[in-house]
Amino acid sequence: MVPIIGITGTLKEDVEAAAERPLGRFVRTDLDYVDGVAGAGGTPVVLPPWGDEKAAAALVGCLDGLVLSGGSDLDPGYYGEEPDPELGPTIPERDAFEMALVGLALRRGIPIFGICRGLQVLNVALGGTLYQDLPSQWEGDVLKHRQVTPKWQPSHEVEVAKGTYIAEVMGREMVKVNSYHHQGIKDLAEGLVVTARSVDGVIEAVEARDLSERWLLAVQWHAEAMRGAGPQQESLFEAHVSAAEHHALRRAAA
């Protein structure tokens, strides 16, 4: 059975269209996410960030897996903080939709794979908090986590913890990754474990404490953009699609 994998989209401003109509915005998802899911054997479906919890529930009921994509900062109100001066742009519609979507997916046991912002959203949805801006809030030296080079180029290494699921999936304990974020996990949510860090200590990957109970995996780097750099990144999508396939079979048998 080919699993249906939802990929969260974002909203972008269209300057030219804005001159012709009041709302010059469009839904966007990098094709790298779509290719990553399709290449691993799943059926990708882009989810527009629109609607309330009722709309999210209707979509979740059709999904076997969920990819939380990268993008804008998450409103700190979701983890009980006021905006920091260095907070980047937020998209209220996307924040509200994704938080509802993740909550429903967690309750249904749908496998979730978070990427960059997706890691942060997953952590907050489970009760964790974030650094709103690593360069100004991190205690100690911090790497440059916002590279200016192309996404397919790695900018630093991360150390993957021995004996973790992600170490098994990627087949190594040191991985070169790209880096396009200025936020990161501060307080880790209950139910997650840290599985990789960069040399400065920033959390780079997490997974569910009990993967037999629910399949959750998230990375801070953009794995979708590095699939051509080696099989390690592709293996993350393959692992997620495999978990989604098992979910699809259980759903069909119910």
Q: Give me the CATH number covering residue 218.
A: 3.40.50.880
pTM of the predicted protein model? 0.94
Catalytic residue among 222, 240, 245, 247: 222
**Is 222 an annotated catalytic residue?**
yes
Report pLDDT digits (tens) over 48-103.
998 788 889 999 999 999 999 999 999 999 999 999 999 999 999 999 999 999 99
Report pLDDT digits (tens) over 184-218.
999 999 999 999 999 999 999 999 999 989 999 99
Catalytic residue among 204, 207, 224, 245: 224
**Is 116 an annotated catalytic residue?**
yes
**Is 224 an annotated catalytic residue?**
yes
Considering its fold, how many domains does the chain have in total? 1
**Alpha helices, H only, the chain:** 15-18, 31-39, 53-60, 92-108, 117-125, 134-137, 165-170, 231-253
Domain residues for the domain of 195 are 4-253
Q: Nearest 5°: phi and psi at 244?
A: -65, -35
